A and B are shown apart, each in its own frame.
Chain A
Amino acid sequence: MWTGILIAVAVLLALAVVFGALLGFAAERFRVEGNPLVDQIDALLPQTQCGQCGFPGCRPYAESIANGDAINKCPPGGEATIKALADLLDVDPQPLDAEHGVEQARRVAVIREDECIGCTKCIQACPVDAILGAAKHMHTVIESECTGCDLCVEPCPVDCIDMITIEPDIRSWTWEPPRPSIIATDRQGASA
C-alpha cells in the first residue's frame, strides 16, 4: 500500500515538474512585450492637456492613474475614456467625477482678432503651442491643433477668446446606430 502511495506521489511530482518546466519555457519563449502601463494609459487619454483632472497635462495624470488614482477625472474624454481605462485596468467604470467638470462637445478656441492686443499671455498658456503670434501683434489659433482645453481663455486680459463648439457638418457626419423603435415602446408600455 505504501508503495502505491509513493508511486502516486512520485508520478504527480514528476508531472508537476515537467509541466512547470514547460510553462516556464512557454512564458519565456512566447513572452509578449507589453507597453509600460503609463504609456498605455496615456494613449487612452484624449491629450487635451487641459489640466481639468488637476494634473499639469495628460501624462502626469496617466502616471497618477498607474499609481492608483481614480479614472474618472477626465471630462474631455468623458464616458468613452473612462470605459476604455476601466477595460485596460480591469476595474469597474465609474461615472465622471463632476468636481473636475462635465463632458461637453468638442470645442475650439477662436480669437476675436480685432480685439486682440497682442499680449502673448494666451501663447504662454497654450499647452500644445497652438497659438501663433508675437508681442503686440495679433494672435491666432491654429484650429487643427487646438485641443479645446480653454486654458487660454482665463489669462486673456481683454477676453477676446471664445470657445466655439464644433458643430457636426456634412463631412463629419456618420450614421447613427439603429434605434429599436417598437420593442422599446412596447417595453415601456409593459413596465408602466
Chain B
Amino acid sequence: MTQLWSFPGGIHPAENKRQSTGRAIRKAGIPDRLILPLQQHIGAPAEPLVQPGDKVLKGQKLADVTSGMGVPVHASTSGTIIGIELLPVPHPSGMSDWCMVLEPDGDDAWCELSPVADYRKLHRDEVLNLIREAGISGMGGAGFPTSIKLRPPSDRKVSTLIINGAECEPYITADDMTMRERADQIHGGIKIMSWILRPERCVIAIEDNKPEAIEAMRKASEGTQAELVVVPTKYPSGGEKQLIQILTGMEVPSGGIPADIGVMCQNVGTAMAVYRAINRGEPLVSRITTVTGAGVDDPGNFETLIGTPARHLLSQAGFHPERISRLILGGPMMGYTLEDTSVPVIKTTNCLIAATEKELPTPPPEQPCIRCGMCAEVCPMELLPQQLFWHAKAQDFDRAEHLNLFDCIECGACSYVCPSSIPLVQYYRYAKGEIRTQRAEQIKADRARERFEARQARLEREQEETERRREERARAAAEAQKKKQAEAEKAVAKGDATDERSARAAMVQQALERKKARPAAAATPESATDKPDIEALEKQLNQAKGKLETMESMLDEARVAQADNVEKLERAVTKNLERVKRAEDALTDARKQLETEAGQ
C-alpha cells in the first residue's frame, strides 16, 4: 500500500457527478462552423499559415507559433477557411480574440498522417517535437504546452511522474469517463511519457469516488510499471500542488515548478492525446467534454471537435436556454461564466454546465467579514484569506503580496465556506491583476527613465561639444584678429592703410548686431492690454506662420534639389496655408468681438 499524506483544509462540496456518467461518451458531431482561437493556452498566440478561402483537411496545421512558447492549431475537420476574425473566445472577460473560422465540408477527411511504429527507435527530442507538432497542451487546466513541460530544465531530474485522474471538481466527469472507456490509450500515453522522462516512479492518482474508473485503469495497468493510487475525495485534491503533497508529502516551492522537487503532473486526457499523436499520428483535434447541469435534458460526455461552438454542443445534450441562469465553462469551483453560447470548445474545455438558478443560486449580497476564520480553515495553501481580502479591498497590494497572495491557487474553497458570502476569489484575482499591471507599468517607467536620462546625457554631451567647438573657433578667430590687427598696425605704421577691409568688417559687425536684435524684438509682447484669448490666438497664428515658413523653405530646398518628396511638401504647405488662414480668421473674429464688447 502506497503511503499517502494529506493536505490542510479542503472542502467536500456536493459532487453532482452522477448526472453525466449515466451514458457512454458520445460523438458531438460536426457543427456547421468551427471557430479555432489562435491562442488556446498560456504563451504566445499562433500565427496563421493559411488564407481565408483555402481548403483544408482534418489534422492540417492552420497556425503555428514561431517565436515564444506555444503549440500549433490544427483543422478539426476538413473544409474551407472562411475567415480570420475577432470573435468571442472562452475567457472570463467575455472579450474577443483572433479566431480562424472553418466551414466543414462534411467529409471529415484526414490529411496524411504519419504514425510512429516504434517511438523507442526515435530520439527523445524527436518524440517531443512530434508532441509539439500535434498541438498538445495540458488538458486539465491552464493548458501549458505539453512538449515544454515534458522537457524539464536539464538540472532537474523528474523522479516521480504523476498522472492526475483525481478530477476533484464537482460536476466534471470528462477524465472519469475517459479513464473508464479509454484506459488503454491513457496507458499508451503514460508509457510514452515515462519513456521520455525515465522516472523512478509513475503514479496514477484517482479519487475514491470513481470506482469504475479505478477498476478500468487497474485492469489496463496490469503488467506495467505504473502504480495506481486511490486518494480520498476532498476538494481540491486534483490541484497539482495538493496532489503532489498527497502522494509524496513534499511541497512545490513557492514560485517554483514541480520539477524543482523531482515531480511532474500530467492529466489523463493529455496522456491520451500523447498516445494518439505518436501511435496514430493524429494531432489534437478533439477532446472529451462534459455537458451537464439541470439546463440540459440529456447530460453526458461528448467527444467534441476543437472549435465546436458551445451552442452546438449544448443542443446535442438537449439544451433548454430558458431554464438556465448561468452557463459555466469548467467546474463550479474554478470555472467562469460565459455570456455567449457561440464561444468554441478549446483544448482546455473540460466541462460546460448549464446551471439553473436552483442548483447554483446567485449568492446573497456580501456582508461584512466577521473574521470567523472558516476561510483559513479550508485554505489548502494555508494562506490567511481574510487578511488577503482586507488588503485587496483596501488596495494595499504590498501587504497582500507580502502575505503570499501569489501562492493562492484560486480554488474557491474560501468563498465556498464564507458565511458572509464575500466573493473572496474575485478580490484576489483583482489584486493579482492590479499588481501585475502595476509591475508592468513600473518596468516601463524604469525604461522610460533610463532612456530619458540617456538622452539628457547625450544632449549635454552634444552641447558641450558645440560649446567647445565654438570656443575653439572663437579662439582661432581672436588669434587671427590679433594677427590681422598687428598686420594692420604694421600696415598703418607702413602708412599703407586698407580702408576697404575695415569697411567690410564694420558691415559684418552691423549684420551680427541686427541678427541679435531680431529675436529680442520678436519676444517683445505686442500689446499687454489684450485679453488672454487674443494672446493665445496670436501665439497660435505665429506658430502656424512659423511652421508655414519652415515648410516653404523646405519646399524650395526640395525643389532645388529635385527631391522626391516635393509632392508631399506641397501638400503640407497647402495644409499650413489653410491653418494660417484659420488662425488669422479666428484672431480677427476675436478682435472684432472684443471691439464690439468694448463699444458696448
Contact = CB atoms under 8 A, between A and B. Distances in A.
Contacts of A145: 447-448, 451
Contacts of A173: 91, 93, 95
B393 A49 contact: no
A157 B547 contact: yes
B576 A157 contact: yes
Interface residues on B, range: 35 or more
Contact of A129 (B92, B422, B454): B454
Interface in A14-54: 42, 45-49
A169 B97 CA distance: 8
A158 B575 contact: yes
Contact of A42 (B95, B441, B447, B449): B449
B433 interface: yes
Given A129-B455, A180-B366, A170 B448 contact: no
A183 interface: yes
Contact of A177 (B365, B426, B453, B563): B426
B123 interface: no
Interface string B381-408: 0000000000011000000000000000
B13 to A, nearest CB: 21
A115 B93 contact: no
A20 B35 CA distance: 75
B91 A170 contact: yes
Contact of A128 (B432, B452, B568, B572): B452
A175 interface: yes
Contacts of A181: 365
A32 B516 CA distance: 55
B455 A174 contact: no
B551 interface: yes
Contact of B563 (A46, A119, A136): A136
B434 interface: yes
B433 A174 contact: yes
B436 interface: yes
Interface centre among B89, B422, B447, B563 (most CB of A within 10 A): B447
A117 B452 CA distance: 25
B427 interface: yes
B125 to A, nearest CB: 31
Contact of B551 (A147, A157, A169): A157
A104 to B, nearest CB: 15
Interface string A85-121: 0000000000000000000000000000001011100
Contacts of A147: 444, 448
> For the complex, would chain A's binding face be called helix, strand, loop or mixed by DSSP majority?
loop
A49 B365 contact: no
B66 interface: no
B96 A170 contact: yes
B456 interface: yes
A175 B454 contact: no
Contact of A157 (B95, B448, B572): B572
Given A169-B95, A173-B95, A128 B551 contact: no
A147 B436 CA distance: 18
A46 B445 CA distance: 6
B502 interface: no
A42 B448 CA distance: 12
B91 A117 contact: no
A178 interface: yes
A114 to B, nearest CB: 8
Interface centre among A117, A136, A170, A183 (most CB of B within 10 A): A170
Contacts of B537: none
Interface in A127-163: 127-130, 136, 144-145, 147, 157-159
B226 to A, nearest CB: 39
B565 interface: yes
27 contacts: A42-B449, A47-B446, A47-B452, A57-B456, A59-B453, A115-B571, A119-B550, A128-B455, A129-B451, A145-B447, A145-B451, A147-B444, A157-B547, A158-B551, A158-B571, A170-B96, A174-B429, A174-B432, A174-B433, A174-B436, A175-B432, A177-B392, A177-B393, A180-B366, A181-B365, A182-B365, A183-B365
Interface of A: 42, 45-49, 57-59, 115, 117-119, 127-130, 136, 144-145, 147, 157-159, 169-170, 172-178, 180-183
Given A174-B429, A178-B427, 9 more contacts: A46-B441, A49-B448, A115-B571, A117-B568, A128-B452, A129-B451, A169-B97, A170-B96, A177-B393
